[in-house]
Amino acid sequence: MSGIKLREMKFDDQLQICKWRQKYNTYSRQYPINNFNEWYQKQLEWFFTYDKNSNHYFVSYDQETKNMLGVTALTSIDKSNLKAEIHHFIGENYIDNQKSKESIDLIKEYAFNELKLYSLYVETFNHDTLKFNFFKDYGFSHIGLWSCKNVKIIKGNYEFIDVNIQSISRV
């Protein structure tokens, strides 16, 4: 690995995360950003209220420069069924094959070795072929399509978006 590490997400990370998320079509479709300050306030509210027992949020950073690179998280941790969902993006590039791979290697190691989980899954919007192909190339198997994900779109309208589900298991 080239020196990417994970650390627990902090309050001070939230502004940069909001700025990154503002850039991506996949996020702006799901979370319309009409007023950045209002959206940032909602992000801060979320940060103080999310369930830290079933969700582990990390930022990936360059070990040498200490620069934050992106977000990698385990959410919906199900300890009885030994599985969790992965959330991931690299800030400037959304998905960067090398940095993303190293971040997923680290979160997978944490999930399988520290939390003793058996499987991880990721949901990708059907139109997000970049993320789908990254996880496919990484080794995640396509296990299904959820064709009724209801997401809020700009101006309060709702749209159904197909969501691919991919999974990887501990060997």
* Range in 63-72, 122-131, 148-157 with the lowest mean pLDDT: 148-157
* pLDDT above 90 for 38: no
**Of the candidates 103, 93, 101, 28, the residue with the CA atom closest to the CA atom of residue 72:** 103
Q: Tell me, what's the pLDDT at 114?
A: 95
Pick from 80, 82, 78: nearest CA to 116: 82
Across 29-33, 40-44, 122-126, 133-137, which has the greatest mean pLDDT?
A: 133-137
Inform me whether the pLDDT recorded for 152 exceeds 70: no
* Measured distance CA(101)–CA(104) in Å, rounded: 5
Q: Would you identify the CATH topology of the domain 4-169?
A: Aminopeptidase (3.40.630)
Residue, of 21 and 82, whose pLDDT is higher: 82
pTM comes to: 0.82
Greater pLDDT, 16 or 6: 6
Over residues 56-79, mean pLDDT: 90
**Cα dist from 16 to 2, 45, 49, 92, 145, whole Å:** 23, 15, 19, 10, 32
What does the pLDDT average to over 149-161?
A: 57
137, amino acid identity:
D
Q: Tell me the average pLDDT across 15-22.
A: 79
Long-range pairs of 64-69 with CB within 8 A, sequence gap ≥ 24: 64/3, 68/13, 68/16, 69/4, 69/99, 69/103
What is the per-residue pLDDT across 116-147, written as a single tens digit (0 to 9) for each?
Answer: 999 999 988 887 888 899 999 999 999 998 87
pLDDT at 19: 79
Mean per-residue pLDDT, 12-22: 82
